Structure 1
Amino acid sequence: MTDTTPPAGFGRPDLTAFARLDGLGLSLTGRRLEPDRAVLACRVVEPNQWCRRCGSEGAARDTVIRRLAHEPLGWRPTVLEVVVRRYRCADCGHVWRQDTSAAAEPRAKLSRTGLRWALEGIVVAHLTVARVAEGLGVAWDTANNAVLAEGKRLLINDPTRFEGVKVIGVDEHVWRHTRRGDKYVTVIIDLTPVRDGAGPARLLDMVEGRSKAAFKTWLADRDDAFRDAVEVVAMDGFTGFKTAAAEEIPDAVTVMDPFHVVRLAGDALDRCRRRVQLAIHGHRGFRDDPLYKSRRTLHTGADLLTEKQSHRLRALFVDDAHVEVEATWGVYQRMIAAYRHEDRQRGRERMEKLITDLSAGIPKVLTELTTLGRTLEKRAADVLAYFERPGTSNGPTEALNERLEHLRGSALGFRNLTNYIARSLLETGGFRPQLLHPRLG
Structure 2
Amino acid sequence: MRNVSLWSALLGVEKTVIEDVEFDEDEQALIVRVRPRKSARGRCGACGRRCPAYDRGEGQRRWRGLDLGTIRVYLVADASRVSCAVHGVTVRQVPWARHGAGHTYAFDDQVAWLATRSSKSTVTQLMRIAWRTVGAVIARVWADAEALHDRFDGLRRIGIDEISYKRGHKYLMVVVDHDTKTLVWAAPGRSKDTLREFFDLLGAERCTLITHVSADGADFIGSVVAEKCPNAVRVADPFHIVMWATEALNEVRRESWNEARKLARAEPSRPRGRPPADAPGRPQSERATRLKGARFALLKNPDTLTEHQSEKLAWIVKADPRLYRAYLLKEGLRAIFKMPLEAARDALDGWVSWARRSRIPAFVKLQRSIVKHRDRILAAIEHGLSNALIESTNTKIRLITRIAFGFKSADALIALAMLTLGPHRPALPGR
TM-score by shorter chain over 0.5: yes
Q: Secondary structure at the match of 1:102?
A: coil
Answer whether contact 1:298 1:329 (CA < 8 A) is retained: yes
Contact 1:21 1:28 in 2 (8 A): no
TM-score, normalised to structure 1's length?
0.74
**Which SS does the other structure have where 2:66 is aligned?**
strand
Greater relative contact order (CA < 8 Å, ≥ 6 in sequence): 2
Partner residue in 2 for 1:338: 336
Residues 332, 351 of structure 2: 8 Å contact kept:
yes
Given that 2:159 and 2:215 are in contact with CA atoms closer than 8 Å, whether structure 1 keeps it comes out as: yes
Once the two structures are superposed, residues 369-408 of structure 1 have per-residue CA deviations (whole angstroms, 9 ceiling, x without a partner) of 1111111011111111111111x21122222222222222
Q: CA deviation at 1:84?
A: 6.9
Q: Distance in 2 between matches of 1:225 and 1:297?
A: 50
In 2, the alpha carbon distance for the partners of 1:26 and 1:316 equals: 81
Q: Which moved more, 1:18-27 or 1:113-122?
A: 18-27
CA distance in 2, matches of 1:370, 1:413: 47
Supply the distance in 2 between the matched residues of 1:65 and 1:353 (Cα, whole angstroms).
78
Give the partner amino acid of 2:179: T
Q: Measure how far apart 1:66 and its partner are.
A: 5.0
State the shift of 1:38 in Å: 6.4
Q: What pairs up with 1:170-185 in 2 under 5 angstroms? A: 170-178=160-168, 183-185=170-172
Q: In 2, distance between residues paired with 1:219 and 1:190?
A: 14
Q: Distance in 1 between matches of 2:100 and 2:428?
A: 22
Counterpart position of 2:314: 314
Identify the residue that residue 350 of structure 2 maps to in structure 1.
Answer: 353
**C-alpha distance in 1 between matches for 2:205 and 2:343:** 36
In structure 1, distance between residues paired with 2:346 and 2:171: 37
Q: Cα 1:139–1:368, aligned 2, differ >3 Å: closer, same or farther?
A: same
Partner in structure 2 of residue 362 of structure 1: 358
SS in 1 for 2:96: coil
Q: 2:175 aligns with which of 174, 188, 201?
A: 188
User: In the TM superposition, what is the alpha-carbon distance from 1:126 to its structure 2 partner?
Assistant: 4.7
Please tell me the residue identity of whatever aligns with 1:183.
Answer: K
5+ unaligned residues in a row in structure 1: which ranges? 1-13, 53-63, 87-98, 194-199
RMSD across aligned positions (CA) = 3.7
For the 8 Å contact 1:33–1:39, the answer to whether it is kept is: yes
* Matched ranges for 1:258-407 at <5 A: 258-282=238-262, 289-319=289-319, 322-341=320-339, 343-358=340-355, 360-363=356-359, 366-390=360-384, 392-407=385-400
Distance in 1 of aligned mates of 2:74 and 2:343: 67
For 2:260, give the aligned amino acid.
I
What is the alpha-carbon distance in structure 2 between the residues aligned to residue 77 and residue 295 of structure 1? 60
Give the equivalent residue in structure 1 for 2:63. Answer: 68
Match of 1:138 in 2: 129
* SS of the residue 1:340 aligns to: coil
Q: Distance in 2 between matches of 1:169 and 1:437?
A: 30
8 A contact 2:36–2:95 mirrored in 1: no
Q: What per-residue deviation string (whole Å, max 9, x for no partner) do you get for residues 307-340 of structure 1?
A: 4432231123221xx2222111111111222223
Three-state SS of the structure 1 residue aligned to 2:166 is coil
Unpaired segments ≥5 residues, structure 2: 43-58, 81-91, 265-284
Give me the whole-angstrom Cα distance separating, in 2, the residues matched to 1:111 and 1:245: 42
Match of residue 101 from structure 2? 108
What TM-score do you get using the length of structure 2 for normalisation? 0.75
Number of paired residues? 380
Q: Report the CA distance between 1:228 and its aligned residue.
A: 1.3
Q: 1:216-272: per-residue Cα shift (whole Å, max 9, x none)?
A: 453244312320111111111122211221122111011111111111111111111
What is the Cα deviation at residue 28 of structure 1? 10
Alignment counterpart, residue 161 of structure 1, candidates 151, 155, 169: 151
- Aligned-pair identity (%): 22
| Residue number among 12, 24, 27 corresponding to 1:21 in the alignment | 12
Q: Offset of 1:107 from its aligned partner?
A: 5.2
Match of 1:256 among 236, 252, 271: 236
State whether residues 362 and 370 of structure 1, in contact with CA within 8 Å, keep that contact through their aligned partners in structure 2: yes
Aligned counterparts of 1:111 and 1:154: Cα–Cα separation in 2: 16
Partner of 2:204: 224
- Structure 1 pair 266–34 and aligned structure 2 pair: CA distance change class (3 A): farther
Rounded to whole Å, the distance in 2 between the matches of 1:220 and 1:229 is: 14
Distance 2:408 2:132 in 1: 14
Using the TM superposition, name which of 414-423 and 223-232 deviates more: 414-423
